[in-house]
């Protein structure tokens, strides 16, 4: 496994530094939803990657790839998570594939 701490996007760093009250409220909600989830951490991160891919939200991909990797996800599982939504979302999901592979290989 990788001990590297996942890095957040520049946009998220600016959100945290420039809107700290909003960021605190957001993180409280995120932590609450994480606690409410019945999924193990690896499955949750892989599912989250699928959603990011479907929405073409490339900026969040490196953080969640590293989180999934730390939770035990393989390179093949990362790729599959990105591509699993193809039947519903179409080829739009491949837009984040390069970022996902680069983040895993970093």
Q: Tell me the pLDDT tens digit for each residue of 35-84.
A: 999 999 999 999 999 999 999 999 999 999 999 999 999 999 999 999 99
Q: Are residues 51 and 39 in contact, defined by beta-carbon separation less than 8 angstroms?
A: no
Structure confidence at residue 7 (pLDDT): 75
- For residue 74, the SS3 value is coil
Backbone angles phi, psi at 46, to 5 degrees: -65, -40
pLDDT over 90, % of the chain? 86
Q: Are residues 72 and 83 in contact, defined by beta-carbon separation less than 8 angstroms?
A: no
Q: Is the pLDDT of residue 5 over 80?
A: no
Task: Provide long-range contacts, Cβ within 8 A and 24+ apart, for 76-79.
Answer: 77/42, 77/46, 78/46, 78/49, 78/104
- For residue 84, the SS3 value is coil
Q: pTM value?
A: 0.84
Structure confidence at residue 6 (pLDDT): 66
């Amino acid at each position: 496994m990788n001990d590297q701490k996942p890095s957040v996007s520049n946009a998220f760093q600016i959100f945290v530094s420039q809107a700290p009250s909003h960021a605190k409220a957001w993180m409280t909600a995120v932590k609450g939803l994480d606690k409410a989830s019945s999924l193990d951490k690896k499955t949750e991160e892989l599912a989250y990657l699928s959603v990011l891919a479907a929405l073409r939200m490339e900026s969040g991909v490196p953080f969640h790839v590293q989180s999934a990797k730390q939770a035990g996800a393989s390179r093949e599982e990362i790729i599959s998570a990105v591509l699993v939504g193809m039947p519903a979302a179409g080829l739009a999901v491949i837009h984040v594939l390069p970022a996902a592979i680069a983040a895993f290989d970093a």
